[in-house]
Amino acid sequence: MWGRIFERTIRHIIRRGTLHVTLPDGRTFTAGDGNAPEIAVRITDPSLLRRIVLLPDMGLGEGYMDGGLTIEGDDIRGLLELGVSNIWADNHLRLNGPAHRIRQRLRAVDQWNTARRARANVAHHYDLSAELYDIFLDRDRQYSCAYFLHDTDTLEEAQEQKKAHIAAKLLLEPGMRVLDIGCGWGGMALTLARDHGAHVTGVTLSEEQHAIATRRAAEAGLADRCDFRLMDYRALDGTFDRIVSVGMFEHVGVPHYDEYFGRVHDLLPEDGIALIHTIGRCGPPGTTSAWIAKYIFPGGYVPALSEMSAAFERAGLTATDVEVWRLHYAKTLRHWDDRFVAGIEKARALYDDRFCRMWRFYLIACEMTFRYGGQVVFQAQLARDKAQVPITREYLYPHPLEREMARAAE
């Protein structure tokens, strides 16, 4: 029975391109229009037929990780591109079955991120071996979307451009006190201290990140201007001239949005400015992939702009600028996967083959969702007083005459 249901499901999804499938009983079928790209898969675990039909992301991800589903040439990139591009080609093909509706009802439970649970969620992902992140991140360990001004930008260049763009939106002045919520390995804080003369307090729940950020500050001679704390942002007191948060809001959880933006409001003075950089969804509120929630980011959720904006409005914050980055994260993730593949033997020595398949599935599935699906990046610049930010975006970009002069000087 499940073989027939599985075949109908795959034929319904794959309309463009070609997918050849060999089932556990040896039977084969082909879905699609016969055109390129052409991908061939073999399923040897009979339970995957049911699991993929009922919860496609979990069944496919676990099947690839555990070896019950193999791809000709191990072309996981080709399979995920074929699948995700077809799912998002037409609205009616999006996978919104019973399992999805159940997850919607349970999302408040999944995202109930108390301080203790938030620490455990962070440890699951960010306290992995530091050597793993050395394999695929840039030198500054920026684990968030880079900003590509040109298609030829290297990952290092694009990450520097991301930090510069955020710094410009913060309208920094030397000596300002800056709070970095979810400071990661310290790259943003170190940049704001070194290049802009800020005094930065960075908070993280990851012991590994805290240790590395503290060491980096000492090695850079910035320990007097960068104070990294292993603590929950909700336990902070005082005020900060500026607040920045890059890639952390995805871990807050919808039940805690009011709490989050309430703290941002209370930690800012009347003339303060905050910049919240987060992955976002183009459409209405949704749910987190079951596979991502289990293996990669437990407790995580990508917000709709409507969910974010309603929460910061209730907190008494004004949006002074909202910018949407579209394909920048797809480019970033492609760089990360290329680097991971180049260093996969190092990753295999740290963990095992199953982990490497899991990590590639994660990087490529996310890339395809940004490339073909409904995920983008939101940068929300917020203030208690809307007059604290210039009334145009000219301060972010060089004047056209300055650009011409710069090009002439090159």
- DSSP symbols for 91-146: GGGS--SHHHHHHHHHHHHHT---HHHHHHHHHHHHTS-HHHHHHHS-TT---S--
Residue that finishes a domain, picked among 66, 95, 124: 95
Count how many domains the chain has.
2
What is the Cα–Cα distance from 90 to 135, expressed in whole angstroms? 37
Q: Check if 183 is active-site.
A: no
Residues whose CB is less than 8 angstroms from the CB of residue 121 and which lie 6 or more positions away in sequence, other chains included: 113, 251, 297, 298, 299, 300
Catalytic residue among 183, 226, 356, 366: 366
Q: Are residues 278 and 190 in the same domain?
A: yes
Q: Is residue 106 part of a domain?
A: no
SS3 content of the chain, % helix, strand, coil (to 5): 50, 15, 30
Same domain, 52 and 175: no
Q: How many residues can be counted in the chain?
A: 410
What's the CA gap between 219 and 317, in Å, rounded?
37
Whether residues 51 and 122 fall in one domain = no
Q: Tell me if 290 sits within 8 A of 57, measured CB to CB.
A: yes
Mean pLDDT, range 314-329, rounded to an integer:
98
Which of 116, 84, 96, 92 lies closest to 17, judged by CA? Answer: 84
Amino acid at 216: R
The residue among 95, 130, 154 that closes a domain is: 95
Arithmetic mean of pLDDT, 351-358: 96
Say if CB 250 and CB 279 are below 8 A apart.
yes
* pLDDT for residue 1: 80
**DSSP states of 14-57:** --SSEEEEE-TTS-EEEEE-SPSPEEEEEE--THHHHHHHHSHH
Indicate if 14 and 140 belong to the same structural domain. no
CATH of the domain at 206: 3.40.50.150
Same domain, 36 and 184: no
Both tokens assigned to 313: 């409005």
Residue 242 lies in a domain: yes
> Is there a single domain that holds both residue 148 and residue 55?
no
Q: Is the pLDDT of residue 271 over 60?
A: yes
- Shared domain for 157 and 270, answered yes or no, is yes
Rounded-to-10 torsion of CA 342, 344, 347, 351:
170
Q: Is 406 contained in some domain? A: no
Joined together, the tokens standing for residue 149 give: 């001004």
Q: What is the mean pLDDT of the chain?
A: 91
DSSP 220: T
Q: What number of other Cβ atoms are within 10 A of residue 350's Cβ?
A: 14
Residue-wise pLDDT tens digits, 164-218: 999 999 999 999 999 999 999 999 999 999 999 999 999 999 999 999 999 999 9
Same domain? 263 vs 194? yes
Residue 93: per-residue pLDDT: 46
Is 109 a domain residue? no
- Using only C-alpha atoms, the chain has a radius of gyration, in whole angstroms, of 22
Report pLDDT digits (tens) over 225-262: 999 999 999 999 999 999 999 999 999 999 999 999 99
Residue-level pLDDT at 92: 42
Q: Does 332 fall in a domain?
A: yes
Residue 101 lies in a domain: no
Q: What is the dihedral of CA 323, 326, 328, 334, to 10 degrees?
A: 150
36-87 pLDDT tens trace: 999 999 999 999 999 999 999 999 999 999 999 999 999 999 999 999 999 9
Task: Indicate whether 103 belongs to any domain.
Answer: no
Contact 281, 308 (CB under 8 A): no
Share of the chain above pLDDT 70, in %: 88
**pLDDT for 74-125, tens place per residue?**
999 999 999 999 999 875 445 555 555 555 554 555 555 566 655 565 555 6
Does 80 map to a domain? Answer: yes
CATH code at position 83: 3.30.1050
Domain finish residue from 39, 66, 95: 95
Question: Is residue 63 domain-shared with residue 184, that is, in the same domain?
Answer: no
Dist. CA 279–CA 302, nearest whole Å: 6
Residues 131, 262 share a domain: yes
The count of other CB atoms within 10 Å of the CB of residue 385 is 14
Kindly state whether residues 72 and 125 are assigned to the same domain. Answer: no
Whether residues 210 and 241 fall in one domain? yes
pLDDT above 60: residue 9: yes
Range of the domain at 357: 115-401
d(C-alpha 147, C-alpha 165), whole Å:
8
Structure confidence at residue 299 (pLDDT): 84
Q: How far apart (Å, rounded) are the C-alpha atoms in residues 300 and 294?
A: 10
